[in-house]
Chain A
Amino acid sequence: MFAAFRRWFDERLNWDDLIAPLRHKTVPTHRLSYWYFLGGITLFLFGIQVATGILLLLYYRPGANEAFESVQYIMTQVRFGWLIRSIHSWSANLMIFTAFAHMFSVLFLKAYRKPRELTWLSGMILLFLVMGFGFSGYLLPWNTLAFFATKVGTEITGQVPIMGKPMMIFLRGGEEVTGATLTRFFGFHVAVLPGIATVLLLVHLLLVQRLGMSVPPKLEAEWTANPSAKREMKFFPNFLLREMMAWYVGLGVLGVLAAVFPWNLGVKADPFVPAPAGIKPEWYFLFMFQTLKLIPSKVWFIDGEVLGVLAFGLVGFMWILLPFFESDQPSRTKGWITGLAVFALAYVAGMSVYGHLAK
């Protein structure tokens, strides 16, 4: 039966040719091979987001008078609604975590170098898009925390010289954070960002497919010197089955987290209530939040905020272009990108913990 279907497709599409590259694809086997799983897990979590997101769309209603109530309805009336929403929130957070971990693992394994600059580039843009998903999705339940997080986040955009103010008004749909903001963020979250992310994701995967898996330089040198030491496994089915086992574990972790620590809804947003004590952004913005908090209000003659925002913008931009800064002779730039990555990781982790503990 299956063979008949297969023959039918093969006659028309030349199926075997189509999946041939997948069959030839190999994954290097070494003690760091586990890091190759991270991109796949991120992809899996993205799939979970799409699926649960579509489910949430069946009941969610955007609008300042309806959004909070509709999420409340999903969580209390709709059967398993609490689970779906909880999984969507947890999966979002885990996806941001795995995306960051993926980025750092690529840095440490030096997988961003020639010829994989474009893979890095598309991956970095995807990382920013993922943060955009996080920022826009956070507002959708229209609770107090989300309201002030959005207010502060968009106000920070407004600090950028010249283009800042129009960008803030564009994001907010007006001077203030209102129902108009919610409508826009909903559109970004469910239409604009998914569209761009899907295209970029395909590009990213195609590049990975086209260029093959990177081998850490040290190991590559060893393998070139002694070809008999080289170890590889087939991508299909050997690596894919292992990856799917990781996905299955991931799904289990996700289910437990969502069931044992269901996501809170909080209190409905009210623009005419003071910001509650102890208000903080989501953990993945915490390192920037904490940095901005530490910069004095005036540095020389520039506003501290403006300086912080410009600095983060500049660092982010340089980070995207990182592979292009490494010279062709590895001996000359020996290890400075690794050093930078260690510093960045320590900074992000340290500031996040500090921000979490600070009052």
Chain B
Amino acid sequence: MAAKQLSEPNATRRHMIEAFLGGGLLASFASFVYPVLRYLIPPPVVDLGGDEIVAAQLSELKPNSAKIFRFGSRPGLLIRNSDGTYRALSATCTHLGCTVQYRSDLRQIWCACHNGIYDLNGRNVSGPPPRPLEVFDVHSRGDEIVVSRKREA
């Protein structure tokens, strides 16, 4: 009986062993590859910037001029209008992420990369930008100008 089994190996038993071996190899391979794949994607950065930042001093900007300030890890644009009022917007172009600038000659916001233009409310007026710029709240505290993210209604 035992001799017969040796000469005619059981096909299902062989398949079983092949499946175990193959599966084991595959699983071990996956266990090598998975850490590498995870390693490729960097860990998310915790943005400790909060929702509020001092963008400038009161005396810093002349009317009809602007500056870039750091808002968390991204740039923001603080504009002082001709009438002395302030407004602040995200300075990251909604098209391909270049940093925009204030054009005092046009009184508009301009992106040099692909000639995108926004009005002072951040609306995309012409050129390729698909969306308006995010607008921030501006208020003064003492002699500092504080910019904060708009509270979601």
Contacts and interface: CB of A to CB of B under 8 A. Distances in A.
Contacts of A169: 41-42
A164 interface: no
A44 B141 CA distance: 64
Nearest to B131: A297
Range, interface on chain B = 20 to 34
Given A173-B42, A275-B111, A297 B101 contact: no
A344 B60 CA distance: 53
B33 to A, nearest CB: 15
B68 interface: yes
B98 A304 contact: no
A293 to B, nearest CB: 5
A337 B68 CA distance: 51
A279 B111 CA distance: 10
A176 B74 contact: yes
A297 B130 CA distance: 6
A303 B113 contact: no
Interface in B87-144: 91, 95-101, 111-115, 124, 127-130
A170 B40 CA distance: 6
B73 interface: yes
Contacts of A155: 96-97
Contacts of A305: 95-96, 128, 130
B112 to A, nearest CB: 4
Contact of B97 (A151, A277, A278, A297): A151
Contacts of A298: 130
Interface of A: 148, 151-152, 155-156, 166, 169-170, 173-176, 180, 271-279, 292-293, 295, 297-298, 303-305, 359
18 contacts: A151-B97, A156-B96, A175-B73, A176-B73, A180-B42, A272-B68, A272-B69, A272-B70, A274-B100, A277-B112, A279-B112, A293-B114, A293-B115, A293-B128, A297-B128, A303-B130, A305-B96, A305-B130
Given A175-B45, A274-B99, A305-B130, 18 more contacts: A148-B99, A151-B97, A170-B41, A272-B99, A273-B68, A275-B99, A275-B111, A275-B112, A279-B112, A292-B114, A292-B128, A293-B115, A295-B128, A297-B95, A297-B124, A298-B130, A304-B128, A305-B96
